[in-house]
Chains A and B, each alone.
Chain A
């Protein structure tokens, strides 16, 4: 990067900042409630907006899973509460099949996109990029604000689809056509599906605005001395996440637009030879497999979009709380890069039994299993990071350790599924549900929780309650394993996904008691998440106040800002960086901040 231009940019930044300060007395510069909290261009406020919207969505998505777990644990039993919630969709207290599928679809869509993409990347990219690279704000604060408001718009459209008469989309979060293209095939493929597609299109716009901004900011706005190889790993992971998003979301959008055409304009991109509900359709020559390719070209990178930021935050938190540098910094960047490249080349492992040419499948087996190499490098490096450390178990640290444990468990079953031979048997069974919930669902949530507990002091100038944090961690961690570990066994027995009642099957009805246990644990775990939400909001106003600038004794730049930084982050000049972000326990010192010049007698190794 060109250093001169940075200095120049920052010079200009400081100037505007000072003008801003001088202008505080003038009415047209004054921040009103609206510019400060609603249409804010401050990256910190936008990050909070993403986080709180994400939390609300997580409650909705989580609640849906609890409700359909009731059906799975107790098929045939009626629950008055379901009729209270859903009216005609759960007459007599039992969820109707078409609504069960709507719930699963919404649970998936909401969790994957609105919580773990919007809520996770949106929150931490916005909060951490300017603070950790030493910038006053994003490259384009306006685009950043728009990114949130498109996300909000997408949220509103998705939410409204829950209330239309024919119900929300119900073709699964993947929405394969022809099911999702034909209103005759499923009630959820009527107006609900159009709203789903529109909402997702808005989401893609939001994600592109955000991601381009993140990339531009990381490349151009680093403070003096902050070379790329001095960046904390959080920034590297958010950088690769943004690149993945920019490269793959447009493909998803194109797939959705073709689907919209098939639905409303009579085209035949995905439709051919269809006799549905007694009606012969005129469409010929389309291919549903085309949609699968377009969808998974995003769908697979998406799981890395979800997990990479979590990996970055976990690396940072493990290092800080072990009081040790992250082990193999360059290898960590290299493995992030490898994951980023491979993520774009493995999508068809979701399609081994879709009718795709088996020869083509074999390449995807190879490429998919290759991902295990950078993943295992990361795991071993995390293990070495905590080895011979001096570990502080803050709630954030516990969640980071939990993340590593879950990532190992879920990652290893990925080696099963990525191998086409085994996939034939366990494809689309409950085994898959167990695998991806552990490896990208729960562990991404763990990364997010770790991030929230760790950076809450920076966000609100207060701490979250520790005791509640510990209870939250232990119940969630034990619960996650209790819920998803036994599901592997159901999957090995061949129990298909998305079966709301297995009683008519002689091969799949042997897990009745297990399903009840899972449902009960789910309810408990969900209740504890509500407790976390309570802790979060309570602590914003009533939490213990942060009294030092650097409560975790960390090296990175965000802890050099005031406890409650204003728009512009640093009062006066932005600090200059002289070293990498991981000088912990070096030369007998607990930590050396990035802003401290390298001493004459210092060990030179990194």
Chain B
């Protein structure tokens, strides 16, 4: 019903506006078109100035209202760099924004048509043009310099002692694999994937490195203040591992493993104390991946080394789970693993 009234209101508003507009045209002819034109000119010039003032207040008001709702402190070492870069850019572009917008609207108001004013014939001025080519060029050099300095630090090699976790995206969820005691992820091949017999990632069981790998889904655990390296892949379409609080992001591409590393600074518990009990480190999918894209949510728990050790000990390697499932379901034919091994072209590590 409400939508009906909205439509009625819109139509009524429209008819009224149109009648006024039509009438104003007749009035203009009655009063003399030139006079009406000049009056409109004054009104619009004033409106432009008013827009500038109200707009600047609006920018301030919007900032007051919303600044508390954007994410707070960055929760990783890389995040700090990204935030610094963001503030440098904000400062520079902010200055340019205010100067140019104020000039634009102020000039529009100040140089509105007046019968005694003559426009100034000013086709070019080399000095001015050189200034506003060189100044932006220098400013941008600074921005590029800072940007690349941070970019190479963030995307550079992960430290040797980094913990490695494999992340796999699928429609519509996240799966994780930990390398186990041997610190090596076993090889996998996508044609081995079989969710029914406990092999959701397509691990090749003939590879002994796989025997202690641990599989979990939807929730990953990592250790605070210890570098973490994610090896990212996808089973079906392109996804993206988006970690807003750590300020990190990397696509998950089928067939092409990608990586990302950072060092988390705060445990989930610490963040909850700061930002309320509902806080979670969430993994959002940031690359359109189908109808469940908006709900492709995973979580990361950041904890101390002891808590992490306790958690990982409670997990059983996926190999054992798979073997049990295969025993209980003997009817399922297993592929000849030796032939698969030779076929295996994709291997992690």
A residues adjacent to B (C-beta < 8 A): 79-81, 96-98, 101, 170-172, 174, 176-179, 182, 185-187, 271-278, 280, 284-289, 322-331, 353-355, 358, 361-362, 365-366, 369-370, 372-373, 376-377, 379-381, 383-384, 386-393, 398, 401, 404-405, 408-409, 412-413, 415-416, 419-422, 424-425, 427-429, 465-468, 470-471, 474, 477-478, 481, 485-486, 489, 492-494, 496-502, 504-508, 510-511, 514, 523, 527, 530-531, 534-535, 544, 582, 584-588, 605-606
Q: Which residues of A contact B129 (CB under 8 A)?
A: 328, 331, 377, 381
Known: A327-B122, A424-B154. A504 touches B297 (CB 8 A): yes
Within 8 A of A (CB), among B276-318: 278-280, 282, 284-295, 297
Q: Which residues of B contact A278 (CB under 8 A)?
A: 195
State the CA gap A421–B147 with chains docked (Å).
6
Extra A-B contacts (18), CB below 8 Å, given A80-B3, A178-B237, A288-B238: A172-B288, A272-B255, A274-B190, A275-B236, A276-B235, A323-B119, A324-B122, A325-B123, A361-B151, A388-B111, A389-B107, A408-B96, A409-B97, A420-B147, A424-B82, A424-B247, A468-B18, A493-B71
Q: Which residues of B contact A187 (CB under 8 A)?
A: 291
Partner of A496, one of B120, B190, B286: B286
DSSP majority for the B interface?
helix
State the CA gap A178–B121 with chains docked (Å).
58
Known: A176-B287, A185-B236, A466-B25. A273 touches B111 (CB 8 A): no
Question: Nearest residue in A to B82 (C-beta to C-beta)?
Answer: A425
Question: Nearest residue in A to B92 (C-beta to C-beta)?
Answer: A415
List 6 tightest A-B contacts by C-beta distance, closest first: A494-B244, A272-B255, A358-B155, A355-B258, A467-B21, A393-B44
Question: Nearest residue in A to B278 (C-beta to C-beta)?
Answer: A506
Q: Which residues of B contact A387 (CB under 8 A)?
A: 107, 111, 120, 122
Q: Which residues of B contact A496 (CB under 8 A)?
A: 242, 284-286, 294
Q: Which residues of A contact B103 (CB under 8 A)?
A: 383
Q: How far is the CB of B217 from chain A (nearest CB, A)?
A: 15
> Is B331 in contact with chain A by the CB < 8 A criterion?
no
Within 8 A of A (CB), among B66-102: 66-67, 69-71, 78-79, 81-82, 85-86, 89-90, 92-93, 96-97, 100-101
Q: Which residues of A contact B152 (CB under 8 A)?
A: 358, 362
Partner of A390, one of B119, B123, B284: B119
Question: Nearest residue in A to B232 (C-beta to C-beta)?
Answer: A355
Partner of B108, one of A98, A380, A391, A466: A391
State the CA gap A289–B256 with chains docked (Å).
9
B residues adjacent to A (C-beta < 8 A): 3, 6, 10, 13-14, 17-18, 20-22, 24-25, 28, 37, 40-41, 44-45, 47-48, 51, 55, 58-59, 62, 66-67, 69-71, 78-79, 81-82, 85-86, 89-90, 92-93, 96-97, 100-101, 103-105, 107-108, 111-114, 117-125, 128-129, 132-133, 136-137, 140, 143-144, 146-148, 150-152, 154-155, 170-171, 190-191, 193, 195, 202, 235-238, 240, 242, 244-245, 247-251, 253-256, 258, 278-280, 282, 284-295, 297, 345-346
Interface pair B107/A383, CB less than 8 Å apart: yes
Question: Nearest residue in A to B124 (C-beta to C-beta)?
Answer: A328
Q: Which residues of B contact A502 (CB under 8 A)?
A: 294
Interface pair B119/A404, CB less than 8 Å apart: no
Interface pair A422/B132, CB less than 8 Å apart: no
27 A-B pairs within 8 Å (CB atoms) are namely A101-B293, A174-B288, A179-B288, A273-B255, A284-B345, A288-B256, A324-B122, A358-B151, A389-B119, A390-B119, A391-B112, A393-B48, A401-B105, A408-B101, A412-B96, A416-B93, A419-B85, A421-B150, A424-B154, A425-B82, A425-B86, A466-B28, A471-B21, A485-B62, A494-B284, A507-B280, A508-B284
Q: Which residues of B contact A376 (CB under 8 A)?
A: 96, 132, 136
State the CA gap A477–B104 with chains docked (Å).
15
State the CA gap A151–B349 with chains docked (Å).
50
State the CA gap A164–B86 with chains docked (Å).
45
Interface pair B150/A393, CB less than 8 Å apart: no
Q: Which residues of B contact A468 (CB under 8 A)?
A: 17-18, 21
Q: How far is the CB of B222 from chain A (nearest CB, A)?
A: 17
Partner of A413, one of B55, B93, B258: B93
Known: A286-B255, A421-B85, A424-B248. A386 touches B62 (CB 8 A): no
Known: A185-B237, A507-B280. A366 touches B144 (CB 8 A): yes
Q: How far is the CB of A260 from chain B (nearest CB, A)?
A: 18
Interface pair B144/A365, CB less than 8 Å apart: yes
Partner of B193, one of A275, A422, A507: A275
Interface pair B240/A272, CB less than 8 Å apart: no
Known: A489-B62, A494-B284. A280 touches B123 (CB 8 A): no
Interface pair A354/B253, CB less than 8 Å apart: yes
Interface pair B123/A605, CB less than 8 Å apart: yes
State the CA gap A392–B21 with chains docked (Å).
20
Interface pair A179/B253, CB less than 8 Å apart: no
Interface pair B244/A507, CB less than 8 Å apart: yes
Q: Which residues of A contact B123 (CB under 8 A)?
A: 325-329, 582, 605-606
Q: How far is the CB of B178 from chain A (nearest CB, A)?
A: 21
State the CA gap A413–B92 with chains docked (Å).
11
Q: Which residues of A contact B121 (CB under 8 A)?
A: 324-325, 584-587
Known: A391-B112, A489-B69. A365 touches B171 (CB 8 A): no
Interface pair B256/A287, CB less than 8 Å apart: yes
Q: How far is the CB of B255 from chain A (nearest CB, A)?
A: 3
Known: A353-B240, A355-B251, A494-B244. A429 touches B286 (CB 8 A): yes
Q: How far is the CB of A200 from chain B (nearest CB, A)?
A: 18
Query: Which of A98, A186, A481 is the most central at the interface, judged by chain B CB atoms within 10 Å of its CB?
Result: A186
Interface pair A369/B253, CB less than 8 Å apart: no
Q: Which residues of B contact A101 (CB under 8 A)?
A: 288, 290-291, 293
Interface pair B107/A390, CB less than 8 Å apart: no
Q: Which residues of B contact A478 (CB under 8 A)?
A: 51
Q: How far is the CB of A480 from chain B (nearest CB, A)?
A: 12
Q: Which residues of A contact B280 (CB under 8 A)?
A: 506-507
Question: Nearest residue in A to B137 (C-beta to C-beta)?
Answer: A373
Question: Nearest residue in A to B136 (C-beta to C-beta)?
Answer: A376
Q: How far is the CB of B67 from chain A (nearest CB, A)?
A: 8
State the CA gap A424–B10 with chains docked (Å).
42
